[in-house]
Amino acid sequence: MRRLIKNGQCLVDGHLQVRDILIADDKIEKIGEHLTANVPVDQIIDAQGLFVSPGLVDLHVHLREPGQTDKETVRMGSLAAAHGGYTTIAAMPNVIPAPDTPERLKNMLALNQRDGAVHVVQYATITTDRGGDELVDMAGLKAAGAFAFSNDGNGVQTAGTMYQAMKQAAKLKLAVVAHAEDDSLTYGGVMHEGDVSKRLGLPGIPSVSETAQVARDVVLAAATGVHYHVCHVSSAATVQVIRAAKAAGVHVTCEVSPHHLLLSDEAINRDNAMLKMNPPLGSEQDRQALIAGLLDGTIDLIATDHAPHTDAEKAQSMLKAPFGITGSETAFAMLYTQFVKTGVFSLAQLINWLAVQPAKLFGLNAGKLAEGKPADITLFDLTTPYKIKATDFLSKGHNSPFIGEQVVGKTIRTVVSGQDAYVNKR
Ligand SMILES: NC(=O)N[C@@H](CC(=O)O)C(=O)O
Ligand SMILES: [Zn+2]
């Protein structure tokens, strides 16, 4: 099967230039100007006026299967990713049962393979059932196909457990991917502790709950030599700890989520669970530090933390609703509109953080448009405005604070291994 994507705008040395891309089966065969295939093509895709991007790579999604299919499924979560322009996603292990044994992991890999509309790689847990201090069989899980180790949803509470996990993971050359949260510093809070939480009378989460654990972990990472990756960094102080650790030569990388870049706690003007996530939205000063951290290279990449929940759960008060918002279907358009259109980021920087870096830092064969590479390609319309609507989401979750936003950056087509995973029917 040969397909030719004609006249699209590709990033070449950081600038948009017209290129044609010839796909043969699941690979990119050729990229060039005015390509005319010397063998017949099965389909010509007109990409005139569209941005042709490497398929985006999301290192942090929650697919909820097995165990919570009322919130999301592998099928719908991966279709949502395709709708957002993602062609590779990494699924977090806070499912029921958690992938904490090689057998459970293998079952999940089979499910991801069967139902995934995009490439789905799978995190295994660090400890049994993502809690306590009993380490999983890391070697067995690596052999079974684990992408990396994470207890996401919870921090690893004991330094000794994290230290042993890092030693093992370093030997196996797999990353430890940390949700950093010290439970003794969260005080049952539901939003960032600061002026806004005080004004609203809602219990606050001090941001030291994140920073203290990252500070502990960079010391352990230095001692073990592991690749330590910090999930959803949310505070200025955490950025500073990571900046210092990088300067000291520690193998630490980190991600920031779109919502922490786009919103601060000042957006919370009432009890609204659509703005409840973990870690919580920080202060405006935190938000500015996250943007600066990306721009100076302290923060390596952007990952959505797509965390679907049911409408009923998120209709509750912030005191009761679960933490988490969806992100796969809004990330590119929101970030493009808020940061690239306004000149804060260049398009090349945004694609670097959404595709190139996540693939590169985790050794995925993705994130790049080049001859011989997998045909994982996304076509975006960067000019036609549209409104984000819950009825357009393919995710089972509608818990997005960005519903109603007027944006540009609509996904027109997402190609995974040469096949359409999403096509906009405009
Ligand atoms: N981020 C969230 O608020 N929630 C995530 C867990 C997580 O990523 O920590 C979830 O699974 O719902
Ligand atoms: Zn998390």
* Beta strands 15-24 and 176-178, pairing class: unpaired
What are the extents of the domains in the chain? Answer: 2-51+374-423, 55-361
Residue 245 confidence (pLDDT) above 80: yes
Q: CATH for 55-361?
A: 3.20.20.140
Give residue 34 CA to ligand 2 midpoint distance, Å: 46
Nearest CA to ligand 1 atom 2: 324
Residue-wise pLDDT for 86-121, tens only, equals 999 999 999 999 999 999 999 999 999 999 999 999
- Which pLDDT does position 38 carry in this prediction? 72
Q: How many Å apart are CA 245 and CA 237, to the nearest integer?
A: 12
Mean pLDDT across the chain: 98
**Reduced DSSP (H G I as helix, E B as strand, rest coil) percent helix, strand, coil of the chain, to 5:** 35, 20, 45
Share of the chain above pLDDT 90, in %: 98
- Which pLDDT does position 37 carry in this prediction? 62
- Which pLDDT does position 36 carry in this prediction? 79
Residue 379 confidence (pLDDT) above 80: yes
Question: With a cut of 0.95, is the ipTM above it?
Answer: yes
**What's the fold here for domain 2-51+374-423?**
Urease, subunit C; domain 1 (2.30.40)
Counting ligands in written order, the one closest to the CA of 229 is 2
Q: Is residue 152 annotated as involved in ligand binding?
A: yes
Residue-wise pLDDT for 304-316, tens only, equals 999 999 999 999 9
Q: Is residue 137 annotated as involved in ligand binding?
A: no
Distances (CA, A) of 413 to 15, 185, 418: 21, 44, 11
Residue-wise pLDDT for 3-14, tens only, equals 999 999 999 999
Structure-block tokens of residue 394: 């393919």
Q: Is residue 278 annotated as involved in ligand binding?
A: yes
Residue-wise pLDDT for 135-188, tens only, equals 999 999 999 999 999 999 999 999 999 999 999 999 999 999 999 999 999 999
User: Which of 131, 94, 6 shows the shortest CA–CA distance to 324?
Assistant: 94
- Sheet of 86-91: strand order equals 56-61, 86-91, 119-122
pTM comes to: 0.98
- Which pLDDT does position 39 carry in this prediction? 76
Active-site hit among 217, 305, 376, 381: 305
Give the pLDDT mean for 189-201.
98
Give residue 153 CA to ligand 1 midpoint distance, Å: 5
Testing ligand 1's pocket by substitution, the residue of 68, 150, 152, 154 carrying the most ligand atoms inside 8 A of its CB is 152
Residue-wise pLDDT for 212-242, tens only, equals 999 999 999 999 999 999 999 999 999 999 9
Q: Are 157 and 134 in contact (CB under 8 A)?
A: no
Residue 426 confidence (pLDDT) above 90: no
Q: Is residue 227 annotated as involved in ligand binding?
A: no
Identify the bridge partners of residue 228 per DSSP, sorted by sequence position. 176, 252
Nearest CA to ligand 1 atom 4: 324
Nearest CA to ligand 1 atom 6: 153
Give residue 59 CA to ligand 2 midpoint distance, Å: 11
Give residue 325 CA to ligand 2 midpoint distance, Å: 11
